[in-house]
Amino acid sequence: MAESTLLLLVAGIIAIGVLAQILADRLQVPAIVFYIVAGLVLGQPGLDIVTEDTFGGALSTVVGFAVAIIVFEGAFHLKIERIKAAPQAALRLVTVGAVIALAGTALAVRLVFGVSWNLSLVIGSLLVATGPTVVTPILSIVPVRDRVATALEFEGIVNDVTAAILAVVFFQTVLPETAGNDIVRGFVTRLGIGLLFGVVVAGAVYYLLRYVDLSPGDAPRNARLLVLAGALVAFAAANFEATEAGVAAAATAGFLLGNADVPYEAEIEAFKGDLTLLVLAFVFIGLAALLEPAALVEVGVGGLVVVAAIALVIRPVLVFLSTAGDRFTRQERTFMSLVGPRGIIPASVATLFAVQLQNANLVREANVLLGTVFLAILLTAVFEGGLARHLARYLNVIPMRVIIVGGGRVGRSLAERLENRGENVVILEEDESTAQAARNAGYTAIIGDGTDTEVLREAGADNAKTVVAATGDDDANLLVAQLSSSKFDVENVIARANNPDNVDAFEDLGVRTISSSMATAWAIDNQIERPAIAHWMTDVGQSGDVQEVEVTSEKIAGKPVREVGPMLPDACLIALVGKGDYTTAEVPGPDYVIELGDHVTLLGQREAVREGMKLVDPD
């Protein structure tokens, strides 16, 4: 192909990738769906513009550097603080979960296609990887709880590394000339080389970022380029020493630098994010275009059976086992089960393996390998990526955040009750030891001053439905409340008044206020006069629940309570109805007509209340 034509084609692919990203943001669908569709249209299944001869032998090199950038960027964003939000589940997903995925996929391939166990294990290894290339775009448009996002991101990054190395090691047992190699030794060697190169490069980049005399005007730019060079050098050097060790090197370097105190971190993150979007577009469009229809025809219905087993059986089993006993709700575990798309690592490595198998006259094995892997990538990326937001909404796992400023006893007790009711809680605490204690207890905690606008924004105030100022300092609580209302337009702002004399001053400024002393008096009074309801309210979120929801359903609007009541689940009652003003709620009689915009308080068993909320507000 002429140089000018190739240049035009590359520019066109990048332009399509950018347009796909814009369209994805507009439609709230992961961009990977449009990348794959564009690749299929440009490739042999479609217009045949991009073929195997288009890039010659350069495609594998381009893909390699793209993988380095993508894996490094994903690991750079994976902070230790976020990993602590779901430590047990994250570790089990990349150990127990990875083993289940490997064994289950290999068994499915063996039973369906009758190929050797060695090749089955190669395919199983490749399809262990979910990867940041597909998970991150999904999470960018599906803002699930931090513990869910962290577990999925951690799984993707770590499994990318283990999948690539395991696949290379198992592949050596398929080729006759390398069939006698030691599997365990090969895996440990490649992982060790990757870790070593990653640590060395991260240390060198860290030193250069902090101590090299960078001119003030060029410092941010030089920092960005230095980190990019480090990612590529780590990947290439480790790969030169051992095949596919570069993935581990890039992930290690990214993780270490992302968790180090490096200068210009925000500029580096923004630069790497934009660069990743471009290489993602190029790689996915290019690889999708190079998919040979013959490989898909070879696997046929059997390939669909294998992919269905991976997505609908193996994935749910490994997720439910890995998250057992953790803080994940049943809906969150179901969402994680249905969102495990495969990404760029399986595609790039499978393409390399297929060429080697064809050179060894193992044509059927090459087609089974390439067809199964690409079919899994296409179907899981398109269907799971395209449906992810709808699944999340159906399963109710996209809650707006509740930010609690103050991680002391009051803040943590409130966080526990809210999380038990399914809220997405973030604790913002200035004291590092207090914040660490909250993290150790399994909560998402950010260290910072809640009276700082940027810290509130980092905690998610832009997407918060409630901010609670619960520190021991009334001045700080008042400032937090005012910032939340004026700067972020938070719907529900509540402040704790430690001194009862400050309550009137708080409320004069429009801040809903809870007096610590009055709250204690109310609790004691309830225990004296209403012990049964007091005990029941104490356990709200465990067996029972009380929730207030705005009426948006046409099914119940305009109907009296006597007609709405039978429409609710048996263990759910309408306790109060208000006209949007919290001070005018009343216990409705049977003839009370419920209208759109009313605020209905539902009381009853936890699951019954949740079903009742869907009836009152389907969204």
DSSP 42-84: HSTTTT--S-TTTSGGGHHHHHHHHHHHHHHHHHHT--HHHHT
Q: Give the domain extent around 208.
A: 10-50+60-395
What does the block give as tokens for 243? 């095949």
Rounded mean pLDDT, 367-388:
84
Count of CA atoms in the C-beta half-sphere (13 A) of 223: 24
CATH of the domain at 475: 3.40.50.720
Q: How many C-beta atoms surround the C-beta of residue 510 within 10 A? A: 10
Q: What is the pLDDT of residues 233-246, one digit of tens each?
A: 888 888 888 776 78
- Shared domain for 384 and 412, answered yes or no, is no
Q: Which of 403, 448, 450 is nearest to 425 (CA)?
A: 403
What does the block give as tokens for 324? 């057992």
- Shared domain for 367 and 452, answered yes or no, is no
- Shared domain for 344 and 418, answered yes or no, is no
Task: State the average pLDDT for the chain.
Answer: 80
Q: What is the pLDDT, as a whole number, of residue 527? A: 75
Q: Which of 477, 494, 603, 480 is nearest to 548 (CA)?
A: 603
- Shared domain for 349 and 384, answered yes or no, is yes
CATH of the domain at 567: 3.30.70.1450
What does the block give as tokens for 488? 């972020």
What SS3 state is found at 1? coil
Q: Are strands 544-550 and 599-605 parallel, antiparallel or unpaired?
A: antiparallel
- Shared domain for 172 and 108, answered yes or no, is yes
In a domain, 118, yes or no: yes
Give the residue with greater pLDDT, 297 vs 55: 297
Q: What is the pLDDT, as a whole number, of residue 86? A: 59
**Residue 581 predicted with pLDDT over 70:** no
In a domain, 451, yes or no: yes
In a domain, 506, yes or no: yes
**Residue 103 predicted with pLDDT over 90:** yes
Banded pLDDT at 584 (limits 50, 70, 90): confident
Banded pLDDT at 461 (limits 50, 70, 90): confident
- Shared domain for 443 and 569, answered yes or no, is no
Residues 6+ apart with CB under 8 A from 219: 263, 264
**Residue 131 predicted with pLDDT over 60:** yes
How far is residue 36 CA from its own chain's centroid? 21
Residue where a domain terminates, one of 337, 361, 395: 395
In a domain, 532, yes or no: no
Three-state SS letters, 344-400? HHHHHHHHHHHHHHHHCCCHHHHHHHHHHHHHHHHHHHHHHHHHHHHHHHHHCCCCC
CATH of the domain at 313: 1.20.1530.20
Cβ distance 594 to 615 under 8 Å? Answer: no
Q: What is the pLDDT, as a whole number, of residue 28? A: 64
Give the residue with greater pLDDT, 58 vs 490: 490
Residue where a domain terminates, one of 340, 375, 395: 395
Q: What is the pLDDT, as a whole number, of residue 58? A: 65
In a domain, 534, yes or no: no
Q: What is the pLDDT, as a whole number, of residue 543? A: 65
541 phi and psi, to 5 degrees? 100, -15
Q: CA 260, CA 258: separation in Å to the nearest integer? A: 6
- Shared domain for 453 and 592, answered yes or no, is no
- Shared domain for 377 and 419, answered yes or no, is no
In a domain, 533, yes or no: no
List the end-to-end C-alpha distance of the chain, in Å, as a whole number: 53
Question: Is the pTM here over 0.75, yes or no?
Answer: no
Q: CA 269, CA 272: separation in Å to the nearest integer? A: 5
Rounded mean pLDDT, 523-548:
70
In a domain, 421, yes or no: yes
- Shared domain for 77 and 169, answered yes or no, is yes
How far is residue 275 CA from its own chain's centroid? 20
- Shared domain for 29 and 154, answered yes or no, is yes
Q: What is the pLDDT, as a whole number, of residue 79? A: 74
**Residue 19 predicted with pLDDT over 80:** yes
Number of structural domains found in the chain: 3
In a domain, 434, yes or no: yes
Residue where a domain terminates, one of 343, 373, 395: 395
Using the Cα atoms of residue 143, residue 145, residue 147 and residue 152 in order, give the sign of their dihedral. Answer: negative
- Shared domain for 139 and 211, answered yes or no, is yes
Rounded mean pLDDT, 139-154:
80
**Residue 305 predicted with pLDDT over 90:** yes
- Shared domain for 100 and 19, answered yes or no, is yes
Element housing 600 (H / E): strand 599-605
Q: What is the pLDDT, as a whole number, of residue 337? A: 92
**Residue 541 predicted with pLDDT over 60:** no
